[in-house]
Structure 1
Amino acid sequence: MTTATARTSDDGGDGGGGGEGGGGRDGGGKRRGAGAMAVAQRVGRSLMLPIAVLPAAALMVRLGYEDMLGREGFPDFVNRIAEFLAAGGGALLDNLPLLFAVGIAIGFARRADGSTGLAAVVGYLVFQQVMATFSDPNLPPEEGVARPADAGVLGGVVMGLVTAVLYQRYHRRKLPDWLGFFGGRRLVPILASFAGLFLGVVFGYAWPVLGAGIHGFGEWLVGSGALGAGVFGVANRALIPVGMHHLLNSFPWFQAGSYEDGGVRYEGDIARFLHGDPTAGQFMTGFFPIMMFALPAACLAMYHCARPERRKVVGGMMFSIALTAFVTGVTEPIEFTFIFIAPALYAVHAVLTGVSMALSWALGARDGFGFSAGAIDFLLNLGIATRPWLLVVLGLCFAVVYYAVFRFAITRFDLPTPGRESDEEIAELEKAQYRA
């Protein structure tokens, strides 16, 4: 959207009688805006490599879930295969922040090589372990033990950017002869480790304070009906870039409300729904139209907006991440294709998610999931859902809206979504990956 602002200013400057000084100020503002957009585009492009592994990871985890190949009553060897799949996919999803740290460091730093990725790993591991020394009182304890603070994807993104900056500034720095061995590229991992130490302490002290506010917000949502569901949808998507959506989810999904079935008491939206509570699903139902229909339609729009010579390559990626979203409900691979290059478009996506959440609940639809809002959970829970057909109708309507909004925004504001990069940008990214 910055590009649109720059164009408006440019048109106004040409038509007005502003003086030379005013034109200089406008030019400086446009240059700063263009610079910020360029940085965001580089971050977005650098995420493509780690994002490419997510569809496979999501499918492995979903197939290994207890209601799929891990179901009781299946042969032991099938359950064993489920364990393998869940462990393999979980290894990637559980270490998503680390993948982002490496991907951003390599993709963002100019003339990056393997030492850039190593420095990102070193910095993030230090950051993660330092932050884990802090407990997060806002999350429910596990087996009576407080859970460690965790910055999620935000920590990986920050460490990736910091590592890239350190690499560009110090990878050719020479040290005195007696320290010469540690100069140049060897210096960057050392600096990254100290940066991770510092950032881990800063995040560790700040995280519980931020989390307390988010947790209290979650408690308010529970008693707010359709409005609460809508606000939850917006906040859930808005917090994904900073990795704090799990704090918001924790109270509505795992603690809010209670339902007794067979003498056993269940708490939280997910457990209550899966055990037959007809009033549950407030914080899950509206995700189905977005994850199964709307975001795949956004992928179709990005495919149609790609340059003709790039559509074949982009089409394969878009098909895989759209299929992953539809089948499993894992949408991060789609969202991270535009979250940094078009934050205003992501804000629209967050608002529309909230609209879907509020509308689904207000119209009386009730559905839920054990994993995420994909076709697998949709089909598995047909027997206990209320008006599930309504979610399909809403999904098709939202698909049309998403396709129109994304196609208009991409073409009108010339957003560099996958397949619209210049030849120079593609060559630079491929060169960085080759060096790595």
Structure 2
Amino acid sequence: MSEKITKKSDNPIKNIFLRKNKKVSTKTGGGMKAFLSKLSGAFLLPISVLAIAGLFLGVGATIASNSPSGSAGETFGNFIKQLGDPLFGALPLLFAAAIAVSFTEEAGVAVFNAIIGYLIFSALQSVFINPVYDSNKDIVGYKILFSGGWRTPSDLKALIGSSLGFSVMQTSVFGGIIVGFVVQWAYNRFHTIQLPQVISFFGGKRFVALAVVILMIPLVFTFLLFWPYIGYIFNWIGKNSGKIPYGFDSFIFGFIERSLVPFGLHHVFYSPLWYTSAGGDVSVELQNWLKQDGNKILASDFASIIHQLKGEVVISNPNEYISWDQISSSFKPGSVNGDSSTTLALIGVNTNTVHYEINGQKGSKSLFMFIQDELGLKLGRFLDGKFSFMQWGLPFAGLAMVLAAPKENRKVALGTIFPAALTCFVTGVTEPLEFTFLFLAPILFFGFHAFFCAVSFLMANILSVHIGMAFSGGFLDLIVYGMIPILKGTNFWWTIVVGMAYIPIYFFGFYFWIKKADLPTPGRGGNTKLFTKKDYQQAKSNNENNTFGIESQILEIIDGFGGRENITKTANCATRLRFDVKNMNLVNEEKLKTAGAFGVRKNSETHLQVIFGPIADQLRIKIDNAINEIDKNPDFYSDKKEERLSNQQNQIKTDTKLESNIVDEIVIKTPTNGKVKSLESLNDGVFSAKLLGVGFAIEQTDGNVYSPIDGKLVTVFPTKHAYGIETNDGLSILVHIGIDTVSLNGEGFESFVEQGQKVKKGDLLAKVDLNILKEHNLNSDVICVVTTDSKIQPKNIRIKK
């Protein structure tokens, strides 16, 4: 534990800015890559919420719009719709809170202050945004802070809208993101501040709110000065990007977005286009269209569209065709913009068809086709390309992996690939399949897969597909946002047509490359071959007779770290080796994975974490012993090197996995009291990616942790935060308390069991002081997984409380 104390001054005023920081450091520097990784994780929080909100919005709007006016069906539909609709109006606030969560180690006080900050940010703007009236007392525009300097009131009118009850500039999620960063800085800077005794009550975390309120003042004036110009730029991008011929804007987007997936930075790239005016602003384009002479629109259609975009307009007769002059004084453009936000919001429009008039000629078109043909904005151009390759391309790439395996291994390969392919098809979660071939053949990912993803986006654009997307391009989103609102002009069937073409492209493309490059995909190659128990015993015997008595797996891990001389510090937690190295360029990720690692995370230029699962502790001890042995033998890396490397290559690795028994279902009792969560919700990059196995997490409430099964404790970690349990028939369970809690070195943990002890389901394993974990901003969820080396692997886990 690190402690930094700044010496107090004799000046009580100066003491306000002196801090005492007792926070446990669990992270190392990572530069820009670490920052972007955190930012991507922050963006994923509101995006995941929008997936649920969009589902309610789409289903509710569909029920309401297809029910008779005033009926119970319409009321029920509007009820369902309102479960999701408000979240789109508060999207900037959600992003502000998400930034605070991600950059303050999930401190609840920071989120509270993010809410305060965004409310002040909005309220202060409204003071300096003044309407400009004509002689008829109609609003013709707005003065923002001052007039002049290319700030014409009529031009600024399109930048003003309503947010949380305030008249504000339409900063969209950018405003929320900036507020979030200011709040996280204030929290990290002041949450441990010490004030003079007389006002000490307002010190610490309570001081953060005051700091945030003060900091909002310069931030608001900065936005009032510069945002009008930035807003022009974003609106220009959104308006003109859709005019790039042949849908090439979608092609470029698709290639870059997919290429960023391996780095976890794709959320950073697509968020501006999905949630800001850079992705298009329908309310502004509709306003510009109405300003053209001879253009009119049915008042009820116009009002419904604007209200769904969180704008304002007053109409007197819903059944008349109106021009701009009739509603200009009451019109305020909506705050909802961007490709995803707009498309999802417009699903809630009460009509499927827009009725309009051009120079006296009346016409009607489906909602999305009207926006495309008349307003020149192709909604969905940064969304719709995902459906074809996620539902059809990648799953058949998985089939190619199965059939490329030897016949005797296809059943096992299918057991690995099928769940990932089904998940990809249904939900659009692609990472399990993509990462299978990403590290084996990067050219297959970037040269083949990313290119055809881009082509899919291009084809969706050309074929006028307009499907909303709240989560990803899976079949669920296709049903809710493509099939159900079909009358609004989604043209969803084209994604299936293109998908049918992608089946042979992906299947034969992957099958050919796997065979040609001899890729060790599941069921292929020495790294993934399933050996018998006899093979394992033989390997163990060979390892015992290895050079200097060091197991070949340990030698390969050391080589993977760049050799003995490159390793400067060894440490581990329950599931990872945490090593410091001199030169990160000498680290060989492929060799580490060949030695049994599930994943490699480089946290800085000198520190990396290698995930091995529950055996990490034993491996680290063996590595330390091996290093001591190597240090005693100076010839180890000289004349014995060729012999040692030859032995490694010819021996079966000790991490060779025995053939698993796949069962339909197992029943696991929850190891603590609390709310059950998915592993994905942890967003830690290890448990959430299921690198250690499948399972679940519990948001614990009382600090008591129990055994979820009957079995033997094969691992009790010295820091008391992790327990490995194995049943008589080979089911291996890891119970892990919190994330990065190994850094506490047992502080706050009390263990009631010993390694080798037999336990029954419900026996008390440990008690945890949740307040200590909270003080150190550490996640306290209890994680329960069936480990990857378990002899029993379930298709389904039934959780019993």
The TM-score, its normalising length taken from structure 2, stands at 0.36
After superposition, where does 1:110-129 map in structure 2 within 5 Å?
110=105, 113-129=107-123
**Contact 2:389 2:456 survives alignment (8 Å):** no
Q: Which residue does the alignment assign to 2:59?
A: 63
One-letter amino acid of the counterpart of residue 139, structure 1: A
Q: Secondary structure at the match of 1:53?
A: helix
CA distance in 1, matches of 2:42, 2:123: 25
Q: Which residue does the alignment assign to 1:250?
A: 281
1:200 to 1:389, Cα distance in 2 relative to 1, 3 A: same
Q: Deviations over 1:253-309 (max 9, x none)?
A: 646879999985269xxx8543876983871365564253446789999xxxxxxxx
1:161 to 1:47, Cα distance in 2 relative to 1, 3 A: same
Q: Which moved more, 1:155-164 or 1:44-53?
A: 44-53
CA distance in 2, matches of 1:384, 1:184: 53
1:295 to 1:412, Cα distance in 2 relative to 1, 3 A: farther
Q: Which residue does the alignment assign to 1:137?
A: 156
Q: Secondary structure at the match of 1:419?
A: coil
Which of 75, 79, 82 pairs up with 1:84? 79
After superposition, where does 1:295-310 map in structure 2 within 5 Å?
none
**Contact 2:385 2:456 survives alignment (8 Å):** yes
Q: Which residue does the alignment assign to 1:22?
A: none
CA distance in 2, matches of 1:354, 1:266: 37
Does residue 216 (structure 1) correspond to residue 210 (structure 2)? The answer is no
Which of 367, 371, 378 pairs up with 1:283? 378
Q: Secondary structure at the match of 1:68?
A: helix
1:141 to 1:191, Cα distance in 2 relative to 1, 3 A: closer
Which of 153, 159, 164 pairs up with 2:179? 159
1:359 to 1:37, Cα distance in 2 relative to 1, 3 A: same
CA distance in 2, matches of 1:161, 1:349: 35
**Contact 1:113 1:435 survives alignment (8 Å):** no
Q: Which moved more, 1:199-208 or 1:212-221?
A: 212-221
Q: Which residue does the alignment assign to 1:359?
A: 459
Q: Which moved more, 1:184-193 or 1:122-131?
A: 122-131
Aligned length: 358
What is the deviation of 1:118?
1.7
Q: Secondary structure at the match of 1:137?
A: helix
1:261 to 1:57, Cα distance in 2 relative to 1, 3 A: closer
CA distance in 2, matches of 1:193, 1:300: 51
After superposition, where does 1:31-430 map in structure 2 within 5 Å?
34-47=30-43, 49-65=45-61, 67-73=62-68, 76-110=71-105, 113-132=107-126, 133-134=128-129, 137=156, 139=158, 148-221=168-241, 224-227=244-247, 230=250, 238=269, 240-241=271-272, 245-246=276-277, 248-250=279-281, 254=286, 264-265=355-356, 272-274=365-367, 280=373, 283-284=378-379, 286=381, 289-294=384-389, 355-362=455-462, 365-368=463-466, 374-380=478-484, 389-395=493-499, 416=685, 418-419=688-689, 426-427=739-740
CA distance in 2, matches of 1:351, 1:154: 30
What is the deviation of 1:106?
3.0
What is the deviation of 1:413?
8.6
1:419 to 1:366, Cα distance in 2 relative to 1, 3 A: closer
One-letter amino acid of the counterpart of residue 210, structure 2: I
Q: Which moved more, 1:48-57 or 1:182-191?
A: 48-57
**Contact 1:45 1:107 survives alignment (8 Å):** yes
One-letter amino acid of the counterpart of residue 195, structure 1: L
CA distance in 2, matches of 1:194, 1:225: 48
**Contact 2:57 2:85 survives alignment (8 Å):** yes
Q: Deviations over 1:352-374 (max 9, x none)?
A: 87754543454xx2344689884
Q: Which has the larger radius of gyration?
A: 2
1:64 to 1:246, Cα distance in 2 relative to 1, 3 A: farther
Unpaired stretches in structure 2, ≥5 consecutive residues: 1-27, 130-143, 145-154, 258-266, 299-320, 322-354, 359-363, 397-418, 430-444, 471-476, 511-520, 522-597, 603-684, 693-735, 743-772, 782-801
CA distance in 2, matches of 1:171, 1:278: 49
Q: Secondary structure at the match of 1:265?
A: strand
Identify the structure with bigger relative contact order (alpha carbons < 8 Å, sequence gap 6+).
1
**Contact 1:222 1:256 survives alignment (8 Å):** no
What is the deviation of 1:208?
1.8
- Structure ranking higher in helix proportion: 1
One-letter amino acid of the counterpart of residue 464, structure 2: R
**Contact 1:101 1:120 survives alignment (8 Å):** yes
CA distance in 1, matches of 2:63, 2:101: 37
CA distance in 2, matches of 1:266, 1:351: 42
1:366 to 1:107, Cα distance in 2 relative to 1, 3 A: closer
Q: Secondary structure at the match of 2:356?
A: strand
The TM-score, its normalising length taken from structure 1, stands at 0.60
Q: Which moved more, 1:156-165 or 1:185-194?
A: 156-165
Q: Deviations over 1:388-428 (max 9, x none)?
A: 64332334667987xx9xxx9xx999694842789899346
CA distance in 2, matches of 1:41, 1:99: 19
CA distance in 2, matches of 1:257, 1:352: 36
Q: Which moved more, 1:426-435 or 1:200-209?
A: 426-435
One-letter amino acid of the counterpart of residue 117, structure 1: V
What is the deviation of 1:186?
0.9
Q: Deviations over 1:144-178 (max 9, x none)?
A: xx973132223333322332222222111112233
1:393 to 1:158, Cα distance in 2 relative to 1, 3 A: same
**Contact 2:383 2:468 survives alignment (8 Å):** no
Unpaired stretches in structure 1, ≥5 consecutive residues: 1-30, 302-314, 327-344
1:225 to 1:123, Cα distance in 2 relative to 1, 3 A: same
1:433 to 1:186, Cα distance in 2 relative to 1, 3 A: same
CA distance in 2, matches of 1:242, 1:72: 34
1:360 to 1:89, Cα distance in 2 relative to 1, 3 A: closer
CA distance in 1, matches of 2:380, 2:207: 51
One-letter amino acid of the counterpart of residue 482, structure 2: F
CA distance in 2, matches of 1:370, 1:181: 49
CA distance in 2, matches of 1:272, 1:292: 25
CA distance in 2, matches of 1:129, 1:378: 38
1:428 to 1:294, Cα distance in 2 relative to 1, 3 A: farther
